[in-house]
């Protein structure tokens, strides 16, 4: 007789408990992924890379969120691969739909216009719901409420070096609230009025603007205009408590009322980055040189050869995006007056 194919329930109940060498030292944190069922095979690759380079030693939980129910195949495979506990959540309808103040005809025209102009994802409705969800809601999903820190992981990413100490613990012990590996300039056509909305917020909520913030990262003229620099949000390790703070919620609410998630195509990357740069102290934002990362089409690979060898990296330094023209990371080093790593000025051809 042919043996019965495993189900999600059988995989879950028979999952062997492999306790990582550092699992006793965990902080209250989780991986989080927003994905569709059709993202399964790309997600499997991301989980393997995260487990192999880091999480097999720690067994952190992993929360998966979706605007539909995850199917059994998705749950079975991801549960088998993640060394920690897995959680699967459906997004409440009101967090993935049009608020009543949005004119849906106007939104549709905006999509058609951006599609004609060949703006990336310009014609997509679901992409807009996704960006709004990542901007304002994922951190308040019931499954996220018990955690203090999150690490966002998207399908088809790569980690190219060992992560040999715990980034979550680093965040907590050093009072970091937001962190990034890649930064770059946003495509201006997706955010024509974002900065107007931001200024409306700073005008009505000056109490949320922090002293010693990183405003210089996002504006070259003291806040008059946006220079389009942002942290690339497909990778983030951050504080959920910060995102759940009154300051951040007031900010998101102001932006959301102006409708640019639908009438334009505001990305969660500039939305998070502007918030972090205005509302946190510079020192509360961290750049990870040690976490070598790829999400199409950019790579962060440590410039310092000793670091690449120590961390058993498999990336090529010539692919590192940090010091290229379209990256904002050099600007980040300048405004934080940080010394650049060894090898940053090596030329590759």
> Site residues for ligand GDP, window 252-311 (CB under 6 A)?
none
Q: Quote the least distance from Cβ 222 to ligand GDP, whole Å.
A: 30
Q: Quote the least distance from Cβ 24 to Mn ion, whole Å.
A: 33
Task: Pick the closer one to ligand GDP by CB: 39 or 258.
Answer: 39
20, 30, 32, 39: residue in contact with ligand GDP (rule CB under 6 A): 39
Residue 162 is a binding residue for Mn ion (CB under 5 A): no
Which residues, in sequence order, are CB contacts of 299 under 8 Å at separation 6+? 160, 292, 293, 315, 319, 320, 321
Is residue 274 within 8 Å of 198, Cβ to Cβ? yes
The window from 33-41, 139-147, 172-180, 272-280 that contacts ligand GDP (CB under 6 A) reads 33-41
Q: Which residues pair with 108 in a beta bridge?
A: none
Residue 126 is a binding residue for ligand GDP (CB under 6 A): yes
First to last CA, the chain: 60
Residue 53's H or E segment, with its range, is helix 40-53
* # chain residues binding Mn ion, by CB under 5 A: 2
Task: Pick the closer one to ligand GDP by CB: 236 or 258.
Answer: 236
What are the residue numbers of the active site? 236
72, 125, 148, 154: residue in contact with Mn ion (rule CB under 5 A): 154
- Give residue number: closest CB to Mn ion: 154
Distance of CA 14 to the CA centre of its chain: 32
Task: Pick the closer one to Mn ion by CB: 228 or 234.
Answer: 234
The window from 58-66, 153-161, 162-170, 329-337 that contacts Mn ion (CB under 5 A) reads 153-161
Question: Per-residue x/- marks for ligand GDP, 134-173, CB under 6 A?
Answer: --------------------xx------------------
Residue 147 burial by CB count (10 A; 0-12/13-18/19+): exposed, middle or buried?
buried
* # chain residues binding ligand GDP, by CB under 6 A: 12
Residue that the structure tokens 């050093």 belong to: 174
Q: Quote the least distance from Cβ 10 to ligand GDP, whole Å.
A: 25
Residue 288's H or E segment, with its range, is none
Q: What DSSP assignment string belongs to 82-118?
A: -SS-EEEEEPPGGGSS--TTS-HHHHHHHHHHHHHTT
Strands in the chain per DSSP E: 29-34, 61-66, 86-90, 149-152, 158-159, 178-180, 183-185, 229-231, 236-239, 285-287, 293-295, 298-300
The window from 18-26, 83-91, 92-100, 226-234 that contacts Mn ion (CB under 5 A) reads 226-234
- Give residue number: closest CB to ligand GDP: 126
Question: Per-residue x/- marks for ligand GDP, 64-103, CB under 6 A?
Answer: --xx------------------------------------
CA distance 296 to 264: 23
40, 130, 229, 291: residue in contact with ligand GDP (rule CB under 6 A): 130
- Out of Mn ion, ligand GDP, none, which partner does residue 36 contact, by CB within 5 to 8 A per kind? ligand GDP
156: left (phi over 0), alpha (psi -120 to 50) or beta: left
Residue 186 is a binding residue for ligand GDP (CB under 6 A): no
SS3 229: strand
DSSP state of 264: S
Which residue ranges make up the site for ligand GDP (CB under 6 A)?
Answer: 33-36, 39, 66-67, 126, 130, 154-155, 234
């Amino acid at each position: 007789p042919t043996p019965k194919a495993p189900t999600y329930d059988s995989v879950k109940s028979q999952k062997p408990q492999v306790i990582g060498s550092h699992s006793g030292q965990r902080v209250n944190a989780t991986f989080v992924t927003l994905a569709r069922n059709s993202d399964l095979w790309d997600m499997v690759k991301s989980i393997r890379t995260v487990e192999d380079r880091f999480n097999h030693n720690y067994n952190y939980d992993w929360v998966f969120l979706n605007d539909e129910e995850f199917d059994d195949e998705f749950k079975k495979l991801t549960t088998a691969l993640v060394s920690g506990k897995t959680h699967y959540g459906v997004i409440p309808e009101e967090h993935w739909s049009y608020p009543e103040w949005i004119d849906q005809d106007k939104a549709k025209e905006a999509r058609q216009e951006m599609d004609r102009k060949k703006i990336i994802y310009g014609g997509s409705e679901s992409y807009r719901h996704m960006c709004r969800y990542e901007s304002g809601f994922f951190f308040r999903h019931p499954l996220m409420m018990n955690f203090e820190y999150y690490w966002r992981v998207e399908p088809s990413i790569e980690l190219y070096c060992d992560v040999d100490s715990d980034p979550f613990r680093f965040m907590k012990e050093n009072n970091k609230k937001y962190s990034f590996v890649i930064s770059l300039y946003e495509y201006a056509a997706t955010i024509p009025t974002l900065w107007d909305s931001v200024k409306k917020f700073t005008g009505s909520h000056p109490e949320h603007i922090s002293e010693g913030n990183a405003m210089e990262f996002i504006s070259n003229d003291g806040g008059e205009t946006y220079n389009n620099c942002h942290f690339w949000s497909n990778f983030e390790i951050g504080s959920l408590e910060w995102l759940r703070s009154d300051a951040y919620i007031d900010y998101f609410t102001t932006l959301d009322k102006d409708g640019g998630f639908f009438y334009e195509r505001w990305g969660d990357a500039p939305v998070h980055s502007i918030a972090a740069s205005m509302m946190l102290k510079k020192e509360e934002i961290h750049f990870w040189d040690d976490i070598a990362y790829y999400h199409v089409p950019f790579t962060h690979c440590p410039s310092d050869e000793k670091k690449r060898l120590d961390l058993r990296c498999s990336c090529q330094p010539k692919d590192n995006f940090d010091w290229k023209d379209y990256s904002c990371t050099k600007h980040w080093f300048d405004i934080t007056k940080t010394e650049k790593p060894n090898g940053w000025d090596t030329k590759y051809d």
